[in-house]
Structure 1
Amino acid sequence: MKAIVNCEYGVDNLKLQEIGKPTPKDNEILVRVRAASINPVDGHLLRGALLMRPITGLRKPKNTRFGGDFAGVVEAVGKNVTNFKPGDEVFGAKRGAVADYVCVPADRAAVLKPANVTFEQAGSVAIAALTALQGLRDKGHIQAGQKILINGASGGVGTFAVQIAKAFGADVTGVCSTRNVDLVKSIGADRVIDYTKEDFTKTDQRYDMIYDLVGNHSFSERRNILKPNGICVLAG
């Protein structure tokens, strides 16, 4: 099968290669990839960001496969898999998704694709949506009725974060540029701050949580608009 690999750090070292088709283990499914996407983290991994090298490999990548999000069709299942069958349309996340095939754990790395969602749409969901969910729910401990500010509300993670926060019953303020104000309003934000016209850290409003996906303000600036027991979560 064909796959994009990077055996050395650097964009110039991305290569399309012929590699062996994987065989699913007992608890895995083999997916024929129909769509895949890349995220900012893939760029960091590809460049070999210094802070990541103790994990990814000091001199060269430990994992040479590229990409994280995928959508496709189940081609085969391991003998212990009961929740998927060949022909199921699925999407999820797995390192090495930019390839003809990918093997993923059946219990945590893929879910069924809704019929009204295209492979291209589903193939760009997993990492951004999970980052939003983990930041709000697992790190921020979001609760209904809280006032949440999302800085970077129009980006990949931000658009999911706005909708997830609303689903939890929060009051959401999104921060974005002028051209994206209508977009952020359309996905459910209660208020939108245009950062080209207003600095969100210079306001009398206080928030239970700031979910900052940009990181362009100091901690002291963010702290000024947090309630006494407020939480600031950074991602990106």
Structure 2
Amino acid sequence: MKAWTWDRYGPPDVLTLQDLPEPALAPDKVLVRVRAASVNPYDWRHLRAAPFLVRLSVGLRRPRPGLILGADVAGVVERVGEEVTGLRPGDEVFGEVPLGAFAESVAASPATLAVKPADLSFEQAAAVSMAAHTALQGLRDVGGIEDGQRVLVIGASGGIGTFAVQLAKAFGADVTGVCGPRGLDLVRSLGADAVDYTSTDFTERTERYDLVLDIAGGRSLRALRRLLLPRGTLVLVGGITSRGGLLGPAAQQVRGFLLSPFVRERVAAVQWKPNTADLRLLATLIEERRLAPVLDRTYPFAALPEALRHLEQGHPVGKIVLTL
């Protein structure tokens, strides 16, 4: 199979497209023929080892040989392990793997896959898992979102943000989204009020919110807390703009954890946990037309380095997807 590998940390140019054996199939895994995969900050963080903490999982001095980037995946089940139930060859699935999606085939756990909605393309389905899981679990599990609340999504036009705006609306919230000028019309089309962070300091606005989901990062905890109603909740995704250092985006989450016991507002962090139950919920919302993936652009599989450069250099409006 063709697969993208890297043997040193650095920019997208260090990636190489190689011929590798198909992954071995463990009894509790399925082999998925990849039809589409999406690109996430998760990928360039591993590619560049930014933050340094990434090296603990993929290699201290250089990536371990044979590692393949990529988490979000959509494709067709080719084979199933002898312990697998619920999926069979020919099923069209979508979901997530820890690594390995930027290849023609990937071994995946059924616990992080679900059957793809029939009217969703593979490209759309590949855009869902990591971003939508983060948005869903940040709003519901960490934020405790309720009907009628006022919710602010910071970074509303990106991959996570577009899902967060739609999910908050589905939960019955009154939603405001903060984004750049390119995303204003999109955020409004998703049913939210939109604020352009380049023309106004949104942290100085008089509006207050029950729940603030900070995806973008780059603002102090003090400034973010000013946006909350008394006893409101600030949910930190980690800050997609945070790149280097030892902890990178986790640094803001650690600060929030240490601060939370000493302030009246609740400050909490989200780390996505892919699972079939949530994927099925997301699929149901998609089938009900209450949720839709937003694609910034698609690239052919051979153009992965270009796709990663686009993700790093700009503020994509929605998700970036590879097609195979």
TM-score by length of 1: 0.93
What's the offset of the Cα at 1:134? 2.1
- Which runs of no fewer than 5 residues in structure 1 stay unpaired? none
Aligned-pair RMSD on alpha carbons? 1.6
What's the offset of the Cα at 1:154? 0.6
The one-letter code matched in structure 2 to 1:79 is: E
> For 1:102, which of 106, 111, 115 is the aligned residue?
106
Residue in 2 that maps onto 1:193 = 195
> For 2:91, which of 88, 92, 97 is the aligned residue?
88
Residue in 2 that maps onto 1:144 = 147
User: In 2, distance between residues paired with 1:56 and 1:22?
Assistant: 18
Q: Does 1:42 align with 2:43?
A: yes
User: In 1, distance between residues paired with 2:173 and 2:57?
Assistant: 36
Which structure is higher in RCO with an 8 Å CA cutoff and minimum separation 6?
2
TM-score by length of 2: 0.68
The one-letter code matched in structure 2 to 1:81 is: V
What's the offset of the Cα at 1:228? 2.1
- CA-to-aligned-CA distance 1:159-218 (integer Å, 9 cap, x gap): 0000111112221111122332221111121x2212233222112221111111111321
The one-letter code matched in structure 1 to 2:49 is: G
What's the offset of the Cα at 1:223? 1.1
Q: Does 1:17 align with 2:18?
A: yes
SS at match of 1:142: coil
What's the offset of the Cα at 1:234? 2.1
Q: Does 1:174 align with 2:177?
A: yes
User: In 1, distance between residues paired with 2:38 and 2:58?
Assistant: 20
Residue in 1 that maps onto 2:4 = 4
SS at match of 2:204: coil
User: In 2, distance between residues paired with 1:223 and 1:43?
Assistant: 30
Residue in 1 that maps onto 2:129 = 126
What's the offset of the Cα at 1:51? 3.3
SS at match of 2:63: coil
What's the offset of the Cα at 1:13? 2.5
The one-letter code matched in structure 1 to 2:46 is: L
Provide the identity percentage.
53
Deviates more, 1:167-176 or 1:134-143: 134-143
Where has structure 1 moved over 4 Å in runs of 4 or more? none
The one-letter code matched in structure 1 to 2:82 is: K
What's the offset of the Cα at 1:92? 1.0
Residue in 2 that maps onto 1:217 = 219
Q: Which has the higher helix share?
A: 2
User: In 2, distance between residues paired with 1:113 and 1:10?
Assistant: 34
User: In 1, distance between residues paired with 2:125 and 2:211?
Assistant: 29
SS at match of 1:201: helix
Residue in 1 that maps onto 2:233 = 231
- CA-to-aligned-CA distance 1:97-153 (integer Å, 9 cap, x gap): 0111111111x2211111211111111221111121122222222222221100110
The one-letter code matched in structure 2 to 1:20 is: P
Residue in 1 that maps onto 2:283 = none
The one-letter code matched in structure 2 to 1:32 is: R
User: In 1, distance between residues paired with 2:171 and 2:60?
Assistant: 41
Q: Give the paired residue count.
A: 234
- Which runs of no fewer than 5 residues in structure 2 stay unpaired? 241-324
